[in-house]
Amino acid sequence: AQSVAQPEDQVNVAEGNPLTVKCTYSVSGNPYLFWYVQYPNRGLQFLLKYITGDNLVKGSYGFEAEFNKSQTSFHLKKPSALVSDSALYFCAVRDTWGATNKLIFGTGTLLAVQP
Amino acid sequence: DSGVTQTPKHLITATGQRVTLRCSPRSGDLSVYWYQQSLDQGLQFLIQYYNGEERAKGNILERFSAQQFPDLHSELNLSSLELGDSALYFCASSGQGNFQETQYFGPGTRLLVL
């Protein structure tokens, strides 16, 4: 079965410092990986995705993610964190079994950026 | 703004009642997905429709049903509500519903069952 794991419930970082939110995946076949962000009382906003090609994927709001096949990881990164980046971040993998295209989400990582 | 709209934003009801959640996909998107977000279960896929037809089912209870109408909007019906059904219900849409596409999410409907 396809799955993703987000090993950290919370990540704390000071404003201006680089941030990393970790995600590992387990899939059969090619992985289709996504990052979403959820601000308080808001829906999920798409940040970026990896389908194929360059292992470094650039997304919205200055975020990027690095796909690492050997380590089965897809960590989200940003060179310089902002207080406004504080939110709940979800990694997801597309379930390609059968006819479903559902997303399988990790448990989420709360990012707290201190001023 | 993702272009996906959901109504109502909030819903408070009692156990045993029935409610209907509505979703309008982004213009041109044929696929609609429903997800449930709760504290104990996290984000879970419920059901997917493509151009009016059910395409896939996830962990959707028999008390729940959905449909997609000819104008492509979708409704999720929740009946015989229980306290444990309290959750945030998201709708998402994508173009054709294939593996490479991004799913764009609506703002959600927060359901509270008392």
| Residue B60, token pair as written in the block | 């959707």
Is A36–B106 a contact, with Cβ atoms under 8 angstroms apart? no
Is B43–A105 a contact, with Cβ atoms under 8 angstroms apart? yes
List Cβ neighbours of A61 (8 Å cut-off, separation of 6 or more).
A47, A78, A85
Nearest Cα of chain B lies from the Cα of A19 at a distance, in angstroms, of 24
Mutate to test the interface with A, among B39, B47, B89, B102 (most CBs of A within 10 A): B102
Does residue A45 or residue B98 have the better pLDDT? Answer: A45
Give pLDDT, residue A13.
98
Is A96–B99 a contact, with Cβ atoms under 8 angstroms apart? yes
- Whether B53 shows a pLDDT value over 90: the answer reads yes
- Distance separating alpha carbons of residues B33 and B56, to the nearest angstrom: 9
Q: Is A90 on the interface with B (CB under 8 A)?
A: yes
Could you report the per-residue pLDDT of A50-77, keeping only the tens digit for each?
Answer: 998 899 999 999 999 999 999 999 999 9
- Whether A1 shows a pLDDT value over 90: the answer reads no
The C-alpha angle with vertex A49 and arms to B30 and A24, in degrees rounded to 5, equals 125
Under the banding of pLDDT at 50, 70 and 90, the label for residue A99 is: low
Q: What is the mean pLDDT of residues A18-25?
A: 97
Is B99–A102 a contact, with Cβ atoms under 8 angstroms apart? no
The residue type found at B113 is V
Most distant CA pair in chain B: distance in Å? Answer: 40
Number of CB pairs < 8 Å for A and B? 65
- Whether B19 shows a pLDDT value over 80: the answer reads yes
- Whether A97 shows a pLDDT value over 80: the answer reads no
DSSP 3-state of A60: helix
Q: Is A101 on the interface with B (CB under 8 A)?
A: yes
- Least-confidence region, from A31-35, A109-113, B16-20, B95-99: B95-99
Does residue B59 or residue A91 have the better pLDDT? Answer: A91
Is A45–B97 a contact, with Cβ atoms under 8 angstroms apart? no
List Cβ neighbours of B26 (8 Å cut-off, separation of 6 or more).
B2, B3, B4, B93, B104
- Whether A43 shows a pLDDT value over 90: the answer reads no
- Distance separating alpha carbons of residues A40 and A28, to the nearest angstrom: 34
Look over chain A and give the mean of its residue pLDDT values, rounded to a whole number: 93
| Residue B75, token pair as written in the block | 């409704």
Does residue A6 or residue A29 have the better pLDDT? Answer: A6
Nearest Cα of chain B lies from the Cα of A49 at a distance, in angstroms, of 8
Is A43–B106 a contact, with Cβ atoms under 8 angstroms apart? yes
Nearest Cα of chain B lies from the Cα of A13 at a distance, in angstroms, of 24
| Alpha-carbon distances of A12 from A62, A108, A109, A112, B49, rounded to whole Å | 18, 14, 10, 5, 39
- Whether A98 shows a pLDDT value over 70: the answer reads no
Backbone angles phi, psi at B111, to 5 degrees: -105, 130
Is B33–A32 a contact, with Cβ atoms under 8 angstroms apart? no
Give pLDDT, residue B89.
97
Please tell me which residue of chain A has the smallest CA distance to B10. A41
B79, B113 Cβ separation under 8 angstroms: no
